[in-house]
């Protein structure tokens, strides 16, 4: 079958394309913005990419068009599909129909940490010989690819609450029918489609309602928004996690405050010690949830801990890209004030008093709407200096955030000028954390090349 994917370079749709290719289909696709790491990953898989949405891409006519949730009415490719009566579906529905229907699905939901936790869980299962399939909204360093069909009944999926498609406004994750469900956390997000937190909680309860009685739901103790979801009704086993506090199920006790070493306890019994390269309490929470979920499918905690001790991480999640003349440059996907705050807390705990420079593009739809505007200034307080980038299409000024900043802050609307400023001011032994959920005009690698030119 020839499957053509509209919006193929999104993290979800790109991963779906890889799965379709592995299942033996001919796969092509198009997108408005084609950039790494997804574009290079797809090209390496032999998947043809088309820039833009010109209707000539439908010649020859595909057997099925999979339409990403970034596509909307008025898009020329979408209108062509509808006018010509081509067969089409959404990405989540295609997954449900063609891959997940006979799998034990382990789904990871939540406002933050979905990609990292999904990767940890897939890595644990793989490390213990279970050969899982997976679909992750990022590129795991240990696998080098964001999706695979796998060779066992187990399938790990990053379960997003964003809507499915312009013709299906349910959250993506209701299509996945998980047997094991991790809910990491829940905050208000996606202001472009959800009016308030309660609307997101209803979607979370929709997925809770379809976890079977023999399934398991894992979430942190003390997460009030998730407690309220569960209070709407639950029919499955509940397993809770906690850090440095009594919990009936899973508990992590920090050995190092930065999260690089911690004990793992289950029902009051010590299971072992995690010692890894990840930092921050948020990653301790992610790891504990992954250990809990893996136990539900038969992995002994001691073996899950061994796997995490060898965990490599995920591209664009505090990924150290390069060190030039003592200047460390990191890439991170942070797209929400809480994610920015926890990322900077993690690096601060790791590097102590060494300078931390935050470079941030608030690019998500929620950020562009200004929904979290009041929270942004304080989210960077663990850094020593912050550079905000004002992207095109944002109808409010980041200068107000800079004016309220607890640390020195500057706003740029030109990436060339931003890179020039960084080159002039960065000093040895500093840590530059570049945060964006998009390509950020290649600032990461352009900065590295500039530093090499001026310092080496």
**What would the pLDDT profile of 281-332 be if each residue is shown by its tens digit?**
889 999 999 999 999 999 999 999 999 999 987 777 788 899 999 999 999 8
CA neighbours closer than 13 Å in the CB half-sphere of residue 68: 23
pLDDT at residue 80 tops 90: yes
Is there a contact between 106 and 179 (Cβ–Cβ < 8 Å)?
Answer: yes
Position 362 confidence tier, pLDDT thresholds 50, 70, 90:
confident
Order of all β-strands in the sheet with 26-31? 48-51, 26-31, 2-6, 64-67, 88-90
Give pLDDT tens digits for 394-427: 778 889 889 999 999 999 999 999 999 999 999 9
- pLDDT given at position 369: 60
Query: What distance in Å separates the CA atoms of residue 386 and residue 101, rounded to the nearest whole number?
Result: 47
- pLDDT given at position 38: 72
Question: In the chain, what are the domains?
Answer: 2-90 (3.40.50.720), 99-309 (3.40.1190.10), 319-455 (3.90.190.20)
Position 370 confidence tier, pLDDT thresholds 50, 70, 90:
low
- pLDDT given at position 250: 96
Its pTM stands at 0.78
Give pLDDT tens digits for 219-260: 999 999 999 999 999 999 999 999 988 877 999 999 988 888
Position 194 confidence tier, pLDDT thresholds 50, 70, 90:
confident
Burial pattern 435-444, b for ≥16 Cβ within 10 A else e, equals bbbebbbebb
**Other Cβ atoms closer than 10 A to 379:** 25
∠ at Cα 341 (322, 408), nearest 5°?
A: 80
Position 371 confidence tier, pLDDT thresholds 50, 70, 90:
low
Q: Please, what is the average pLDDT of the chain?
A: 91
pLDDT at residue 451 tops 90: yes
pLDDT at residue 138 tops 80: no
Query: What distance in Å separates the CA atoms of residue 448 and residue 118, rounded to the nearest whole number?
Result: 30
- pLDDT given at position 368: 61
pLDDT at residue 122 tops 90: yes
- Kindly calculate the radius of gyration of the chain based on its CA atoms and give it in whole angstroms: 22
Residue scoring higher pLDDT (34 or 212)? 212
Query: In whole angstroms, what separates CA 377 from the centre of its chain?
Result: 23
- Which of 5, 67, 10, 68 shows the shortest CA–CA distance to 38? 10
pLDDT at residue 441 tops 90: no
Q: Which two tokens stand for residue 362?
A: 């608030």
Distances (CA, A) of 228 to 161, 163, 238: 17, 21, 14
- pLDDT given at position 190: 75
Q: Which of 56-70, 78-92, 300-314, 325-339 has the lowest mean pLDDT?
A: 325-339
Is there a contact between 28 and 47 (Cβ–Cβ < 8 Å)?
Answer: yes
């Amino acid at each position: 079958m020839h499957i053509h994917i509209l919006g193929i370079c999104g993290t979800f749709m790109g991963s779906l394309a890889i799965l379709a290719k592995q299942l033996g289909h001919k796969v092509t696709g198009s997108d408005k913005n084609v950039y790494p790491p997804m574009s290079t990953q797809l090209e390496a898989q032999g998947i043809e990419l088309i820039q833009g949405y010109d209707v000539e891409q439908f010649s020859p006519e595909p057997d099925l068009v999979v339409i990403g949730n970034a596509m909307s009415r008025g898009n020329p490719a979408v209108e062509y599909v509808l006018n010509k009566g081509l067969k089409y579906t959404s990405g989540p529905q295609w997954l449900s129909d063609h891959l997940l229907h006979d799998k034990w699905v382990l789904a990871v939901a939540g406002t933050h940490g979905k990609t990292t936790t999904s990767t940890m869980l897939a890595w644990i299962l793989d490390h213990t010989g279970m050969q899982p399939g997976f679909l992750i909204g990022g590129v795991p360093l240990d696998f080098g690819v964001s999706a695979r069909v796998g060779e066992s009944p187990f399938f790990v999926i990053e379960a997003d609450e964003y809507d499915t498609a312009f013709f299906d406004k349910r959250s993506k994750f209701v299509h996945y029918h998980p047997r094991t469900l991790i809910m990491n956390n829940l905050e208000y997000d996606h202001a472009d489609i959800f009016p308030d937190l309660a609307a997101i909680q209803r979607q979370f309860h929709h997925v809770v309602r379809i976890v079977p009685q023999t399934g398991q739901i894992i979430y942190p103790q003390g997460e009030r928004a998730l407690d309220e979801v569960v209070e709407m009704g639950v029919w499955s086993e509940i397993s809770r996690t906690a850090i440095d506090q009594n919990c009936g199920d899973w508990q992590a006790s920090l050995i190092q405050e930065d999260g690089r070493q911690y004990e793992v306890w289950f029902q009051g019994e010590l299971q072992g010690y995690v010692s890894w390269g990840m930092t921050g309490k948020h990653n301790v929470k992610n790891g504990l949830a992954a250990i809990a979920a893996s136990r539900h499918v038969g992995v002994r905690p001691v073996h899950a801990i061994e796997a995490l001790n060898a965990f490599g991480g995920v591209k664009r999640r505090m990924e150290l890209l390069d060190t030039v003349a003592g200047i460390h440059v990191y890439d991170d996907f942070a797209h929400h004030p809480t994610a920015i705050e926890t990322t900077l807390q993690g690096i601060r705990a790791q590097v102590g008093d060494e300078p931390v420079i935050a470079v941030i593009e608030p690019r998500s739809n929620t950020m562009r709407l200004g929904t979290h505007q009041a929270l942004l200034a304080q989210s960077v307080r663990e850094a020593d200096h912050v550079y905000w980038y004002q992207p095109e299409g944002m109808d409010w000024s980041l200068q107000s955030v800079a004016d309220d900043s607890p640390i020195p802050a500057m706003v740029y609307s030109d990436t060339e000028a931003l890179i020039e400023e960084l080159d002039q001011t960065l000093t040895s032994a500093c840590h530059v954390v570049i945060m964006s959920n998009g390509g950020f005009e290649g600032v990461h690698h352009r900065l590295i090349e500039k530093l090499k030119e001026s310092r080496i």
